[in-house]
Structure 1
Amino acid sequence: MEQNGKIIGKRERIEATFDRYSGEVSREAIIKDDILLHGLNFSERSLKGAYQEKAYYLFTFDSDRPEVVRERPAMIPQEICIQGGSYGLRRTIIQSRHSKDSPYSVDVLDGKRVLLLDGVPVADVSFVPRPAYYGQELRDGMRVEEVAPAIYWGETADVTAFRICEYWNRGKQCLFCDINENFRSWGHLRKGLGAIVPEDIVAESLEMASRDQGVKRYLITGGAILDSRREWEFYLRYIQRAEESLSRKLPSRLNTQALEPHALERFYETGVDYYHPNIEVWDRRLFSLICPGKEENIGRDEWIRRTAEAARLFGTGNVSPNFVAGIEMAYSQAFPHGFRNVEEAVRSTAEGIEILMQNEIVPKFDTWGLEPLSWFGRNGVSIPPLEYYPELYIRYKELKREYSMPWPAGLGEAGAGVSKVPASAFMDA
């Protein structure tokens, strides 16, 4: 990057961003989003020892192609924690996204794992430990973590019930998404499972996970099913079996498309606590271009209407559609549609945040990771500048205060040094 006619490195730029947003957005949030944007490289010696390995349960999230990641002799961790160091960082949990070309790397110096930025140590690093429930065998001989791996530093048992998305069959998949490619590339990690995970072993896995005191909730998620009735009946069976097994021992999160009110009532009655009908991007035109299957099958306006109905049923803070923060700035010769400056992009998404909050809906975010086997990855789109994220969070916090909204429920505690949300810094801000 050039500043006042001088080329500056990534470290100087991140420090300038710290200074620019001092008092408004935490350092932890800024460096976390920069790591999520650019990924992490890991030295071989940093990957020695015991830790929770990355599960590749839904998407890759990696900046590198799967064949590059598979060259590693050891699997990277699911998440890392950075703290201390030259920036005095509070404890910050970050999802691992592999990138050999990242300016951020994890290595071992003086017997300790450290985070390097442009080759300079800036923070101490620890890897997420294996949860206590890992290693147990299910009745069919599979290990519990093959069905219900942990995220959120062990607090959420995460089940991908349907490991692909039917929009891919029509070439209508969301342009940022690599779910089907993830299954094709990493499905071998769960040799006994196909695209559909049997309900009984999901219930058995969640019951095992629930005995671990570190597990605070479970999540049922997966790809879209084209027929609305088939979709809600499919996912409802998993919630029913899980609740029969758990007897309301753990709160439940459900991530599906925006479902009709009559279907949502069934989930509510069965025991779903938190619902995530992920809208991905707000702008009307970009929604139709980036999420063509969702636009064709349900439509943006209907998606918003159903989400508002869900909030009336589940209550304020319990319905949290996700934005893939940054995709509204996707731009390339093949996709010349994204916003070209941060102010316009944030204004667009903030409009969506405000309308949702007016309807008792509290949206959440994942920081966009440009996956090479997604449509965007194959077509050379650019990622947003780092400044987009603190600007978005400032506006989010303003609107949250204006409408007296809580943090999204079901994600754990919020705050720098406290949040365990791994794929976004909005709750670290």
Structure 2
Amino acid sequence: MPASRLLTELQSLGMRLTDTDGAASRRGGAGPSDHKAIQLAGQTVMVPIHTASSHRSPFSASPPGEDGAVMLLRDGAPVGRISFPPQPRYYGLQTSDGVPYWKIALLHGTDVLATTVLQTCIRTADRRTACQFCAIGQSLAAGRTIAHKTPAQLAEVARAAVLLDGVRHMVLTTGTPNLVDRGAALLCESTHAIKAAVALPVQAQCEPPRDAAWYSRLRDAGVDSLGMHLEAATQAVRARIMPGKATVSVARYLDAFRDAVPVFGRGQVSTYLLAGLGDTAAEILALCETLVGIGVHPFVVPFVPISGTPLEAHAPPSPAFMRSVLAPLGRMLRDGHLLSTDVKAGCSRCGACSSQSAYERAAYESAA
């Protein structure tokens, strides 16, 4: 089975875990949640393990053999050897005031440091405006993070993660604190402090600020790449799934992308699209074609329902649906010369939450 097909099936269907070792899985919170990072076929992927569908998955992980090897099984038959990234060494440290480093920033995949600078959002308090898939408050309520990570804390943890664990880039996202800069000011302060402490490429992620001058301010603060995440491709699905965020329309995002790309460069602005929320494959690909034309890298990820959210029972997209999007998208990105490996930092560069990069590689290999 081609690696792209196997990875797509695994991320859509999830995996049942038995007695395995490795880094702890993630429950709740912003970013990839209810997942576990595994290494398979030379790639690190985030695989759902705490969702309802994953409990019915044909995929499972074997207990470690005598040599410590763990096999990925499909219906009980081995399909590949897997491993789990080890616990990061910086997780054992804490700040001078007693905050564990892992509460400030987490390791995503194997070499990406990620944090939600502000673990609250103006949209979450009211279900009429909250994104139905969002779990940003869960890890805060459970005491697994802190509400606001200061620039000094982020710089301290970033430096340790680079020195101790070889982290190669960092993602700074945030809950939306206001409807004006939408978190850009927080991201500027945070990035400036990190860059003063350690040479580390940084992606900042926020909704489009009202004033386009914030893109230059973010760049001048040291931000290498910018993520502005649409989540859904059509305005109808956005209004149904994320009613508050949908007030910033798809058209407004496209204008923001046109403002940001000249500042950061072609391919250094990206957007995250969740497949399986109701957009058709044709609608997702039509938007991606527009984005590629602007110079934005679209990162298409299978939707993973998170426990405790209104969409916890929502079915993830089928592997066939994901292939129908990712195969033509890989060719589209090849033709547009927008490789994920050229993105300096962020979700597109990491690629662990989607098998998209495998389709990018397949498209380039087929044209060689």
CA offsets 1:67-92 (integer angstroms, 9 cap, x no match): xxxxxxxxxx841113xxxxxxx323
CA offsets 1:229-288 (integer angstroms, 9 cap, x no match): 362222222122222322xx1111111112231111110111100110001111222122
The answer on 1:321 being equivalent to 2:277 is no
The answer on 1:242 being equivalent to 2:194 is yes
Contact 1:60–1:178, Cα closer than 8 Å, also in 2 = no
1:203 Cα offset (Å):
1.6
What secondary structure, in the 3-state scheme, does the structure 2 residue paired with 1:376 have? coil
* Equivalent of residue 117 in structure 2, options 161, 166, 169: 161
Whole-Å Cα distance in 1 between the matches of residues 228 and 195 of structure 2?
A: 21
Letter matched to residue 325 of structure 1: A
Gaps of 5+ in 2: 360-368
Counting only pairs closer than 5 Å after superposition, residues 338-417 of structure 1 correspond to structure 2 as: 345-377=280-312, 380-407=313-340, 409-410=343-344
Whole-Å Cα distance in 1 between the matches of residues 180 and 6 of structure 2?
A: 40
Whole-Å Cα distance in 2 between the matches of residues 413 and 304 of structure 1?
A: 19
Aligned Cα RMSD in Å? 2.5
Deviating beyond 4 angstroms after TM superposition, the runs of 4 or more aligned structure 1 residues are 411-414
1:400 Cα offset (Å):
1.9
The answer on 1:61 being equivalent to 2:1 is no
Q: Match for residue 5 of structure 2?
A: 30
The higher radius of gyration belongs to: 1
* Equivalent of residue 52 in structure 1, options 18, 23, 28: 23
**Deviation larger for 271-280 or 171-180:** 171-180
Q: Match for residue 133 of structure 1?
A: 90
Whole-Å Cα distance in 2 between the matches of residues 229 and 413 of structure 1?
A: 22
Q: Match for residue 284 of structure 1?
A: 235
Whole-Å Cα distance in 2 between the matches of residues 403 and 97 of structure 1?
A: 31
What secondary structure, in the 3-state scheme, does the structure 1 residue paired with 2:124 have? helix
Contact 1:152–1:422, Cα closer than 8 Å, also in 2 = yes
Letter matched to residue 203 of structure 1: A
Whole-Å Cα distance in 1 between the matches of residues 15 and 339 of structure 2?
A: 32
Contact 2:92–2:100, Cα closer than 8 Å, also in 1 = yes
What secondary structure, in the 3-state scheme, does the structure 2 residue paired with 1:363 have? strand
1:427 Cα offset (Å):
0.5
Alignment: residue pair count: 349
- Per the normalisation by structure 2, the TM-score is 0.86
Counting only pairs closer than 5 Å after superposition, residues 10-409 of structure 1 correspond to structure 2 as: 18=1, 27-43=2-18, 45-47=19-21, 51-56=22-27, 58-59=30-31, 61-62=33-34, 78-82=36-40, 90-98=41-49, 99-108=54-63, 110-111=65-66, 112-153=69-110, 155-171=111-127, 172-184=129-141, 187-190=142-145, 193=146, 195-212=147-164, 214-229=166-181, 231-246=183-198, 249-259=199-209, 260-296=211-247, 298-328=248-278, 345-377=280-312, 380-407=313-340, 409=343
CA offsets 1:44-89 (integer angstroms, 9 cap, x no match): x323xxx332355525632xxxxxxxxxxxxxx841113xxxxxxx
Whole-Å Cα distance in 1 between the matches of residues 222 and 332 of structure 2?
A: 30
